[in-house]
Chain A
Amino acid sequence: MAEIVVDNLTKVWSGSPAVDGISFTCASGEFTVLLGPSGCGKSTTLRLIAGLEQPSAGAIAIGGRDVTRRSPAERGIAMVFQSYALFPHLSVAENILFGLKVRRVPRAERDERLKRAAQTLGLTQLLDRKPAALSGGQRQRVALGRAIVADAAVCLMDEPLSNLDAQLRQEMRAEIRSLQRRLGMTMIYVTHDQVEAMTMSDRVVLMREGRIEQQGTPAELYDCPASGFAARFLGTPPMNLLPAAIGAGLLPGVPAAAGGSIGVRPERLRVGAPGRGLAASIEAIEYLGADTLLTLDAAGAKLIARTDGHARHRIGEVVGVSCAAGDLHFFDAGSGRRVEANGNGCNAPERGEGA
């Protein structure tokens, strides 16, 4: 059991809070992604959990044990750094075994674990090399090797894929995910890439300005964003947010006077003949193969619609844009938070502490 419980955690840097009273729980064996734009406090949160920073307030428990004041080594964690933090003067094998030697694990067991980790990660041929003689992806694997050889129940990762090229990143996403499942590690993974969050995680904790904006499964965040920010952060292209006065035109019977904004996902929009729904003109057409993105202008408000296959439209054409009742999301004008309306199955969304 290695459940991680973060309770009301706060970190203040010279007066301004980087992490502002956040609470969340990662169940044992679960893959949790801390997601957010840069400066939202996600890396600080991870460093607090690792014990590399001391919290200003709040508590952290790992496996039911309060570790708030414990040193990093006492927390039973492994960590993969963004830069990989490999020791440049040590070979791959020595890098992987560094922690085991420090902890005085007997030699036979050390060798056994190294062999296993090297096989798992395909590093067997590279064990004698120095990090400088490895490619970015290979260094990444060594960093992973160092994390899994420790047999720690908890693994923390700080943007581990950000230094890799797109192709490799995609491969490593799948590999890290399957590794985590196979070893049953409790994983907290920091990223600003919503695709990584969507594809890898069991749970997403979306952060903004030191607070949790929303937490839940990727599907919950995608289908029922708790705020305009959450709605825009997940999904490519992001959710369309329209002023209520304009957005009301999408569907008859929507109260336009309510104020705030109305959101709808690009793939939920139906583009048809003018006269039905909201009148808009086509500004741009992006053909992506499987689908086509239409950039539309409706009375000055921009929105993007995703349509199947080849577009049958021309730039400048005027069309009618509509959607179904359950596809609309309503957000408050002042706070940007979700306003409950009906029909889209989001009546009891999970909320972050900031709600």
Chain B
Amino acid sequence: MSRLRASIHASLLLLPAVVLLAAFTHVPAVRTFIGALYTTPRGNRPEVFIGLDNYRHLLDDPVFWQAMANNVWYAALTIPLSVILALVMALAVDARLPGRAALRMAYFTPTVLPMIAVANIWLFFYTPGYGLLDQVLGLFGVAQTNWLGSRDTALNAVIAVAVWKEAGFFMIFYLAALQTIPHDLREAAAIEGASRFTFFRRVTLPLLMPTTLFVLVNAVIGAFRLVDHIVVMTRGGPDNATALLLYYIYEIGFRFWDSAYAATLTTVLLAILAVLAAVQFLFLERRIHYR
């Protein structure tokens, strides 16, 4: 009897959170999986069950494959670049140097700025002719470049913005982790004759692994989630050169109002993220020392 009461109490305590999670996360997610199996209802045409037809359509959709390829390239560049840059910046501002508080703040500033504002700043940097980048390059006699308007440079240009924005955020985690490493470990290693690089490779890096896993998971999610700057800077163009998966979903869902196809794309995106997260945990978990 008392056990029953205890479990009723527990259920009641969990109820508010369950309701909120269900209403805004689980039900929509399930609805998305189901919606991907129907046609999009339009006007007087109700939705019709079509099984995997949406997925077949997806396999034949060249823009999807373009967005997929863009996103893979985008992830392959932004994840390592932002993580490595974050680590380098954290090591730099962890050292005893004059003005390091100012430096830390400078590195962190991009994280505080809204992505929309960041995108507009970079829009100016990239402006052909009188933008910052072209002006500086002009000093060295480099010709004008339409960074965002050219198929060759647009994707890398938005990658640079994402790295700039994310690295400062990841740096904070690395910095916090670095400061928990006791100083006398470094001294003990110095007495043993370990160079700074050896110490970094054999001690610092392994002790940072839990942080690295956390940062990596966040970076992977960010690589598929962060599209604000695409909306402001390129709208996926030119010629879908900067269309990322999430941006493509947004276009399909809210500009073309094809909700069934958007649901199909979303399911695929979620599957990709789930696989990536699982791989990271299974692969890295074993090699990590948690304190």
Binding site for B on A (CB under 8 A): 50-52, 71-73, 77-79, 81, 83, 85, 87-89, 98-99, 102-103, 130, 132, 146, 150
Are B192 and A73 interface neighbours, CB within 8 A?
yes
How far does the Cβ of B193 sit from chain A's closest Cβ, in whole Å? 3
Are A79 and B191 interface neighbours, CB within 8 A?
yes
How far does the Cβ of A77 sit from chain B's closest Cβ, in whole Å? 6
Q: Which of B23-31, B100-108, B139-147, B182-190 contacts A (4 or more CB under 8 A)?
A: B182-190
Known contacts A52-B187, A98-B202; is A88 also within 8 Å of B193 by CB? Answer: no
Are A87 and B203 interface neighbours, CB within 8 A?
yes
How far does the Cβ of B267 sit from chain A's closest Cβ, in whole Å? 40
Are A81 and B206 interface neighbours, CB within 8 A?
no
Are B291 and A83 interface neighbours, CB within 8 A?
no
Known contacts A85-B182, A85-B187, A132-B291; is A102 also within 8 Å of B192 by CB? Answer: yes
Contact of A103 among B188, B193, B202 (CB under 8 A): B193
Are B193 and A73 interface neighbours, CB within 8 A?
yes
Main secondary structure of the interface of B (DSSP, over half): helix
Are A88 and B291 interface neighbours, CB within 8 A?
yes
Number of interface residues of B (CB under 8 A): 18
Are A81 and B291 interface neighbours, CB within 8 A?
no
Which residues of chain B are near A132, meaning CB under 8 Å? 291
Q: Which residue of B lies closest to A99 (CB)?
A: B192
Are A72 and B202 interface neighbours, CB within 8 A?
no
Q: Which residue of B lies closest to A95 (CB)?
A: B188
Known contacts A102-B194, A103-B193; is A85 also within 8 Å of B291 by CB? Answer: no
Which residues of chain A are near B187, meaning CB under 8 Å? 50, 52, 72, 79, 81, 85
How far does the Cβ of B265 sit from chain A's closest Cβ, in whole Å? 42
Are B191 and A73 interface neighbours, CB within 8 A?
yes
Known contacts A77-B191, A81-B184, A83-B184; is A102 also within 8 Å of B291 by CB? Answer: no
How far does the Cβ of A354 sit from chain B's closest Cβ, in whole Å? 29
Known contacts A85-B184, A88-B291, A132-B291; is A98 also within 8 Å of B192 by CB? Answer: yes
| Complex: A96 Cα to B206 Cα, angstroms | 17
The answer to the question of B119 belonging to the interface, with a C-beta cut-off of 8 Å to chain A, is: no
| Complex: A71 Cα to B184 Cα, angstroms | 16
Which residues of chain A are near B182, meaning CB under 8 Å? 83, 85
The answer to the question of B96 belonging to the interface, with a C-beta cut-off of 8 Å to chain A, is: no
Q: Which residue of B lies closest to A103 (CB)?
A: B193
Q: Which residue of B lies closest to A101 (CB)?
A: B202
How far does the Cβ of B179 sit from chain A's closest Cβ, in whole Å? 15
| Complex: A332 Cα to B182 Cα, angstroms | 46
| Complex: A88 Cα to B182 Cα, angstroms | 10
Which residues of chain B are near A103, meaning CB under 8 Å? 192-193
Which residues of chain A are near B194, meaning CB under 8 Å? 73, 98-99, 102
B190, B193, B291 — most chain A CB neighbours (10 Å):
B193
The answer to the question of B289 belonging to the interface, with a C-beta cut-off of 8 Å to chain A, is: yes
Are A73 and B184 interface neighbours, CB within 8 A?
no
| Complex: A83 Cα to B289 Cα, angstroms | 20
Residues facing A in B206-237 (CB within 8 A) are 206-207
Which residues of chain A are near B185, meaning CB under 8 Å? 85, 87
